[in-house]
Amino acid sequence: MHQIIKAKHYTPGRGGHTPRLIVIHTMETPENRGRAHQVAVWFSGPSSPQASAHYLVDDAEVYISVKEEDTAWAVDDFALNQESISIEHAGVAAQTSQEWQDNYSKHELENSARLASAIAKRWNIPVVKLTPADILAGKAGFCGHSDITAAKKIAGGHTDPGPNFPWDKYLGLVKSNTPTV
């Protein structure tokens, strides 16, 4: 069972939209145990940013910050926020391919994949990596925050989860998981 620490900033409901995207993010923080809890507390606190995510994941824990039925303030486009579920991962967009293969990342990606598999099944979201063009065309699947930045041509937008995020490995883990959530 995932723990809940409710974010300060989100929008109740989804404005009639159904999630079609699972958006992968990095928290832009060091990878360490307890990071999901720490960021969940930050999202809920008095100095929280005007942002939130549905889930926060590290190598050992998953926190719910915004319920799936509500709209997290996770990407720079409100309509796409209404159509997406966001998963934040401890780590940074600048991680190298090798850094995504260390023991911490291995456990974090497995933890996230179990969660993402359950979300995809709940909302009938295909386990496929989308391009920016796919996002604009209204297709359903997985993407990074950077893909939304590229699709919407957001100047100075986000680059996470980064060019070295192991999409093939991650989506393989998502496909092979049986939901336990």
pLDDT tens digits, residue range 29-70? 989 999 999 999 999 999 898 999 999 999 999 999 999 999
Task: Report d(CA 35, CA 10) in Å as an integer.
Answer: 21
Run of H or E residues at 119 = helix 103-123
Q: Supply the pLDDT for residue 181.
A: 41
Question: What is the tens place of the pLDDT at every residue in 108-133?
Answer: 999 999 999 999 999 999 999 999 99
What is the pLDDT averaged over residues 126-151?
A: 96
Report the predicted TM-score, pTM, of the whole model to 2 decimal places: 0.94
- CA-to-CA separations, 51 to 38, 82, 108, 139, in angstroms, rounded: 15, 14, 22, 25
Angle between helices 103-123 and 167-176 (to 10 degrees): 60
